[in-house]
A and B are shown apart, each in its own frame.
Chain A
């Protein structure tokens, strides 16, 4: 069944793969981006070229007014958001002793406040429809912790507690709320860490390699599908067996 899906941070990396996957599953997709409109347009073009429907919509998802405006645009152009994928995320890694308040606030705002704002905005339509899927992208860092990522890990762990609470709040209305926690995935975000770290992480994963964005998108596609109708409040770890 075709639904209206909104993917935050959908222009690059894992978000891009999720947008493409949801479109190929038959959903109409709004691709949110913060700054890189060219990348978002590319995703939209790729979806349209494959026969799907998509739009790009700019918004800083940590900002209250920007999120309201984004939902207004998406609802006007595509209809009520039925599948929300909270994917937007940034890193500002540093040791805690060197981590200033800005690095903390920026990460919490973009990674966690955005999940609150977008979920709340999407919920109205979902309650009225008595159907909805909220899927948020966390991280293995939020489960196992990671040195240099106190801010990032806190935001990603926060997503899990948030999702479990909301799952209980709105489960009776046929809205499911789940989390996908990727391990080390080959994206721009992880590229900066260098091949040495990548090789070391790959060797620790049971599957002996890094993950691909499409492999995270597949998990999101499942949680958005009718097959996952009875799954809620869960965190699906997709990390190649990194944290066992």
Chain B
């Protein structure tokens, strides 16, 4: 685990591909099902605790801190990428 990784700027494609790997490896989602529009709970069958786990994995792997208020807004893969992108490059 890269628990202590420092946040570094990253382009969107790179974030997308890393996030896709996380979804496959950590949450066991089929790679082919992952699109930017896919909703975690409805389309990818991730339960509410799974979304919490995903956000923890994002924090650990991208070295960002995601406050609970912002975490609650995330429903799709694309939104998760947006959030990480904003945190890393904003």
Give me the interface of A with B, judged by CB distance under 8 Å.
124, 127-128, 169-170, 172-173
- Chain A residues closer than 8 Å to B56, beta-carbon distance: 124, 127-128
Q: Mark B1-19, 1 if CB is under 8 A from A, else 0.
A: 1000000000000000000
**Do most interface residues of chain A lie in helix, strand or loop, or is the interface mixed?**
helix
Q: Is B86 located at the chain interface by the 8 A CB criterion?
A: no
- Give the distance in Å from the alpha carbon of A127 to the alpha carbon of B54 in the complex: 11
Question: How many contacting A-B pairs (Cβ < 8 A)?
Answer: 16
- Give the distance in Å from the alpha carbon of A135 to the alpha carbon of B11 in the complex: 44
**Do most interface residues of chain B lie in helix, strand or loop, or is the interface mixed?**
helix
Which 9 pairs between the two chains have the least Cβ-Cβ distance?
A127-B53, A124-B56, A169-B49, A128-B56, A127-B56, A170-B49, A173-B49, A172-B49, A128-B1
* Total B residues in contact with A, Cβ cutoff 8 Å: 8
13 new A-B pairs (CB below 8 Å) besides A127-B49, A170-B49, A173-B49?
A124-B56, A127-B52, A127-B53, A127-B56, A128-B1, A128-B53, A128-B56, A128-B57, A128-B60, A169-B49, A172-B47, A172-B49, A173-B53
Interchain nearest-CB distance for A230 vs B (Å) = 20
- Give the distance in Å from the alpha carbon of A124 to the alpha carbon of B60 in the complex: 11
- Give the distance in Å from the alpha carbon of A118 to the alpha carbon of B57 in the complex: 21
Interchain nearest-CB distance for A123 vs B (Å) = 9
Nearest A residue to B57, CB-CB: A128
- Give the distance in Å from the alpha carbon of A193 to the alpha carbon of B15 in the complex: 63
Q: Mark B27-54, 1 if CB is under 8 A from A, else 0.
A: 0000000000000000000010100110
- Chain A residues closer than 8 Å to B49, beta-carbon distance: 127, 169-170, 172-173
* 16 cross-chain CB contacts under 8 A: A124-B56, A127-B49, A127-B52, A127-B53, A127-B56, A128-B1, A128-B53, A128-B56, A128-B57, A128-B60, A169-B49, A170-B49, A172-B47, A172-B49, A173-B49, A173-B53
Interchain nearest-CB distance for B1 vs A (Å) = 8
Interchain nearest-CB distance for B30 vs A (Å) = 19
- Chain B residues closer than 8 Å to A170, beta-carbon distance: 49
Nearest A residue to B59, CB-CB: A124
- Give the distance in Å from the alpha carbon of A173 to the alpha carbon of B53 in the complex: 10
Q: Mark B48-89, 1 if CB is under 8 A from A, else 0.
A: 010011001100100000000000000000000000000000
Nearest A residue to B52, CB-CB: A127
- Give the distance in Å from the alpha carbon of A170 to the alpha carbon of B56 in the complex: 15
- Chain A residues closer than 8 Å to B60, beta-carbon distance: 128
- Give the distance in Å from the alpha carbon of A172 to the alpha carbon of B1 in the complex: 22
- Give the distance in Å from the alpha carbon of A111 to the alpha carbon of B57 in the complex: 31
Interchain nearest-CB distance for A154 vs B (Å) = 28
- Give the distance in Å from the alpha carbon of A145 to the alpha carbon of B81 in the complex: 52
